[in-house]
Homo-oligomer: A and B are copies of this chain.
Amino acid sequence: MRDQFHEELDRISDRLVEMSRLTGSAISRATTALLDGDLKLAESVIEADEAIDAIRRELDDSAVDLLARQQPVATDLRMVVTAMRMSADLERMGDLARHVAKVARLRYPESAVPAELRATITQMGHAAEKIVAQTGSIIAGKDVQSALSLETADDEMDALHRQVFEHLLGGDWTHGVQAAVDITLVGRYYERFADHAVSVSRRVVYLVTGEWHSSTDLLGVDAGDDD
């Protein structure tokens, strides 16, 4: 049987898994809302973000409370601090899904996505869903191998992001400045969403192995981006 500290930590971990489920649902619905110009769906994503924020607050309160009551050291301390950082990443992923939904809402009843970019944006949405689903499994299973393969999924997202820029800057953009601005921002939101997911999975690897993957950074590293 687990002791009280680890039981409470398990509950915190369950909340992280729940947050990844909710952000996955949010980015999936936001992508559909964006592609279909679906106002209702967009608004449901925007409203649902409050639930993600609430779990984050609750989780962080529990974590601080756990630190105060149980005074963990070494790996146990590191686990609590890292859980709080994961919750920050996941909350931000919820925000980014909400941002995509807000672009959808702004352009309703049109879709913000020109026809020739639908395939790419659809793929970005799928990549985001895949990454966050994997992230949830990684947290639940403390699965280091999956965490490493998630970096490949992030490379896929980066390649799609480059495709978006190639479309925009290829010289035959005919959709005007507003669509260019929308697509620039949306592309950035998906890319940042994936960055934060990778950051979460790196934290899991760090917890399990004590080593920060492919970086000299340790505990204190948030979702970086190299663009």
- A169 contact from B71, B95, B177, Cβ within 8 A: B177
Contact of A220 with B84 in the complex, beta carbons under 8 Å: yes
Contact of B77 with A67 in the complex, beta carbons under 8 Å: yes
Prevailing SS type, chain A contact patch: helix
List the one stretch of A3-11, A57-65, A125-133 in contact with chain B: A57-65
When chains A and B are docked, how far (Å) is the Cα of A15 from the Cα of B165? 38
Contact of B88 with A64 in the complex, beta carbons under 8 Å: no
Contact of A64 with B92 in the complex, beta carbons under 8 Å: no
Chain A interface extent, by class: 35 or more
When chains A and B are docked, how far (Å) is the Cα of A188 from the Cα of B99? 12
Contact of A68 with B77 in the complex, beta carbons under 8 Å: yes
Contact of A217 with B57 in the complex, beta carbons under 8 Å: yes
Q: A95-B225, A227-B102 are in contact. Are A219 and B181 (CB under 8 A)?
A: no
What are 30 A-B contacts defined by CB distance under 8 Å? A53-B217, A56-B220, A57-B219, A57-B220, A57-B221, A61-B218, A64-B77, A64-B81, A64-B219, A67-B67, A67-B81, A68-B77, A81-B84, A84-B220, A85-B88, A87-B220, A88-B222, A91-B220, A91-B222, A95-B224, A99-B225, A102-B227, A168-B177, A168-B181, A169-B178, A169-B181, A173-B177, A180-B180, A180-B184, A184-B185
